[in-house]
Structure 1
Amino acid sequence: MIGKLKGTIDEIDGDLVLIDVHGVCYAVSCASRTVARLSVGEAAVLHIETYVREDQFRLFGFGSHLEREWFRLLQGVQGVGAKVALAVLSTLSPSEIANAVALRDVAMVARSPGVGKKVAERIVTELKSKAPAYAGDAAPAIGLKQELGEGVATGPVTDAVSALSNLGYSRDQAANAVAAALKTAGEDADAAKLIRLGLKELSR
């Protein structure tokens, strides 16, 4: 099994990347977000998921260990294979996937090519318990987002997120701002205070 490749990018053709490792070129399928960070002739490190089937040997490459973990997690959902998992990772970063799952944001996941509403619903439902462990940069606010997604957040928090969303911020941005506001104001803060502090966070 190949876990990681370190070498020089030899060629890029769509989502297929050739990486030269000491004279041996490996063909690796990558999400478009990963490909966008690569340049021909430059050194690169790809975290690899190896697929061995009776009729094929295929390598999938990712820019980080976290991206590879989400590739694996996504394929644990019914109806999600390698192609759909790559499409999701081409559209959303690991932290964005974690946020969408926590907030039960089906529309966010369904933005990915080839991902319909039913598959997106299965992704946010079946992976909700996994989001905190694989949240990456989203980790500080992931608990609050899960509470919002499950409809069990406190009244002031729900009202503050709703108010900020009504001002044009995404639900994710609003949740991040309110999570930061809670750290300053405390768990007993009312909605008005959370909105005020949240707006300060969003204006930074």
Structure 2
Amino acid sequence: MIARLAGTLVETTADGATVDVGGVGYQLLASARTLDALGPIGGSVVLLTELQVREDGWTLFAFGSPGERATFRLLTSVQGVGGRVALALLSILTPEELAAAVSRGDKAMVGRANGVGPKLAARIVNELAGKIGSPALAGSAGASAPRGGPAHDALSALANLGFKPAEASAAVAAASEELGPDATLDALVRLALRKAAK
């Protein structure tokens, strides 16, 4: 399983990117949100990944944050939601926005994504109710963008300093995992800034 790639951004397309890792170019599919956060061609990138193996080929999906990847996994567990449909949803809704839409039963919001008709939107809302936004998404060690307390404030601080959402989320999640649940806001922000600057 390929879980993470760190390398040089070679090119981006409308729905993906190519990252050079030690001379090997990995073709990745990603949400518009993740692609927007990648930065310039030739720059260094670190992406979380999910490898899907099908009869007709292997597809590597890339994510800018642990929360996006966890949400992708939940979405693709719903019958009729493939990787591309999940990315279409994550292109228009953050994991938090999707969780809120599911908790409200807002099928219209979910149905805004390309490839998601009314029936599929209803199935997504019904099947993910009680799952998304729960420990299955949050994880025990920073598996999603933090939603409350010092971690949430640290995320806001990095966003206010100009970091892109995917960069800020990944840095704060990594800092939270390293410092543990009792970390102060000051410690989280300092460590997250060091991680984001790498």
Q: Normalization by structure 2: what TM-score? A: 0.66
- Return closer, same or farther for 1:84/1:38 CA change in 2, 3 Å cut-off: same
Q: Tell me the amino acid that sits aligned with residue 23 of structure 1.
A: G
1:105 and 2:106 are equivalent in the alignment: yes
Structure 1 residue 16 displacement after superposition: 2.1
Describe the SS at the equivalent of 2:123.
Answer: helix
Q: Tell me the amino acid that sits aligned with residue 108 of structure 2.
A: A
Q: Which residue of 2 aligns with 1:12?
A: 12
- Return closer, same or farther for 1:137/1:11 CA change in 2, 3 Å cut-off: closer
Describe the SS at the equivalent of 1:131.
Answer: coil
Q: Percent identity?
A: 49
Q: Which residue of 2 aligns with 1:41?
A: 42
Structure 1 residue 139 displacement after superposition: 4.4
CA shift digits 1:173-192 (9 cap, x unpaired): xxxxxxxxxxxxxxxxxxxx
Q: Which residue of 2 aligns with 1:173?
A: none
Relative contact order (C-alpha < 8 Å, sep 6+): which is higher? 2
The answer to whether the Cα contact below 8 Å between 2:67 and 2:145 also exists between their aligned partners in 1 is: no
Matches within 5 A, 1:87-126: 87-126=88-127
Describe the SS at the equivalent of 1:113.
Answer: coil
The answer to whether the Cα contact below 8 Å between 1:95 and 1:138 also exists between their aligned partners in 2 is: no
CA distance in 1, matches of 2:4, 2:145: 22
Per residue, is there more helix in 1 or in 2? 1
CA distance in 1, matches of 2:71, 2:107: 17
Describe the SS at the equivalent of 1:41.
Answer: coil
Point out the structure with max Rg over C-alpha.
Answer: 1
CA RMSD of aligned residues (A): 1.6
The answer to whether the Cα contact below 8 Å between 1:31 and 1:62 also exists between their aligned partners in 2 is: yes
Matches within 5 A, 1:10-159: 10-39=10-39, 40-133=41-134, 134=137, 139=147
CA shift digits 1:135-156 (9 cap, x unpaired): 656845xxxxxxxxxxxxxxxx
Describe the SS at the equivalent of 2:12.
Answer: strand
Structure 1 residue 53 displacement after superposition: 2.4
- Return closer, same or farther for 1:5/1:127 CA change in 2, 3 Å cut-off: same
- Return closer, same or farther for 1:70/1:77 CA change in 2, 3 Å cut-off: same
The answer to whether the Cα contact below 8 Å between 1:17 and 1:30 also exists between their aligned partners in 2 is: yes
CA distance in 2, matches of 1:50, 1:22: 19
- Return closer, same or farther for 1:78/1:13 CA change in 2, 3 Å cut-off: same
Name whichever of 33-42 and 126-135 sits farther off: 126-135
- Which ranges in structure 2 are unaligned for 5 or more consecutive residues? 139-143, 149-198
Describe the SS at the equivalent of 1:38.
Answer: coil
Q: Normalization by structure 1: what TM-score? A: 0.64
Aligned length: 140
Structure 1 residue 118 displacement after superposition: 1.3
- Which ranges in structure 1 are unaligned for 5 or more consecutive residues? 141-204
Structure 1 residue 125 displacement after superposition: 1.1
